[in-house]
């Protein structure tokens, strides 16, 4: 079985590439983030033509997550337990954003997550990010009571270790590498999850995100922030994994590359 995660940075803008990639990579389950569309506007018909069922969670032009599966899709859960909301900078009321969706796909229970960015360590969005990660931990801990292979995949907006950023000095005093964010990942690990993407991969630094600006991708100035965490049953089934850097190339690419994990179940 093949599972994958990909921040597509707008499913509408990326639809031709998404359809092409589903055909070529042929994942059984794909977790998507940053749809930037309402659930009812997700291109379900185009994806269904390839044999996939779709569960989407989105409300508009920001955020949004989905799971597409060709091995079954049931027990869909939209949102985390006690998920916090965020009051936008324009003073609008606090809202719970569409950042997490879970589903049972064949023999797997998977979540697709889009962790808040945090923006700046002094910004209210950073405190929101940490609260959101607490809710993710509570949700995962509750589901880890089952014995089925379980995973949380997505854009975590956290680089787990120093070698997961191209130049640590460039990120000093910024989000994505702070002790508090990495501690939140540690809490997930304490609950029974582990990084299921083995190292090393094909590249010494298997980054998953490169900024559009400053020729970051050609210069490989990237970060590894798209992650796959799983319980012992899922981790023990991993046979291979790779970051599909080819999908980051060319016109119209997302600023993230898909992360693919092969399993023997």
Sequence ranges of the binding site for Mg(2+): 7, 34, 155, 157, 255-256
Distance in angstroms (rounded) separating the CA atoms of residues 72 and 121 = 40
Positions marked active-site: 114, 155, 256
Helices (H), 49-178: 124-143
Ramachandran bin of 99, using left for φ above 0, alpha for ψ from -120 to 50, beta for the remaining angles: alpha
Distance CA 32, CA 4 (A): 9
Q: Which residues contact 116 (CB under 8 A, 6 or more apart)?
A: 86, 97, 99, 125, 128, 129, 132, 157
Distance CA 84, CA 70 (A): 32
> Left if phi > 0, otherwise alpha if psi is -120 to 50, otherwise beta: which for 38?
beta
Residue 171, classed as helix, strand or coil, is helix
Question: Scanning the structure block, which residue is given the tokens 């209210």?
Answer: 124
Which CA distances in Å does 88 have to 27, 114, 181?
36, 17, 21
Q: How far apart are the first and last CA of the chain?
A: 7
Q: Which residues carry a binding-site annotation? A: 7, 34, 155, 157, 255-256
Cβ(55)–Cβ(27) below 8 Å: no
């Amino acid at each position: 079985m093949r599972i994958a995660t990909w921040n597509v940075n707008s499913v509408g803008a990326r639809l031709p590439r998404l359809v092409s990639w589903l055909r070529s990579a042929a994942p059984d389950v794909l977790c998507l983030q940053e749809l930037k569309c309402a659930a009812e506007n997700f291109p379900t018909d185009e994806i269904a033509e390839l044999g996939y069922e779709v569960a989407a969670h989105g409300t508009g032009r920001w955020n949004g997550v989905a799971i597409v599966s060709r091995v079954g899709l049931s027990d869909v859960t939209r949102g985390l337990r006690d998920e916090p909301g965020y009051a936008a900078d324009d003073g609008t009321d606090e809202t719970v954003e569409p950042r997490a969706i879970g589903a049972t796909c064949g023999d797997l229970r998977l979540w697709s997550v889009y962790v808040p960015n945090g923006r700046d360590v002094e910004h209210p969005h950073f405190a929101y990010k940490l609260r959101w990660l607490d809710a993710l931990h509570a949700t995962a801990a509750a589901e880890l009571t089952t014995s089925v292979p379980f995973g949380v995949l997505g854009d975590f907006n956290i680089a787990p270790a120093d070698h997961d950023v191209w130049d640590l000095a460039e990120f000093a005093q910024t989000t994505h590498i702070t002790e508090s964010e990495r501690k939140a990942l540690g809490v997930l690990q304490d609950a029974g999850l582990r990084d299921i993407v083995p190292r090393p991969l094909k590249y010494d630094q298997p980054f998953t995100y490169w900024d559009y600006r400053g020729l970051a991708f050609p210069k490989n100035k990237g970060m590894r922030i798209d992650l796959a965490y799983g319980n012992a049953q899922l981790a023990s089934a991993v046979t291979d994994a790779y970051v599909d850097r080819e999908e980051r190339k060319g016109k119209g690419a997302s600023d993230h590359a898909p992360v693919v994990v092969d399993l023997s179940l």
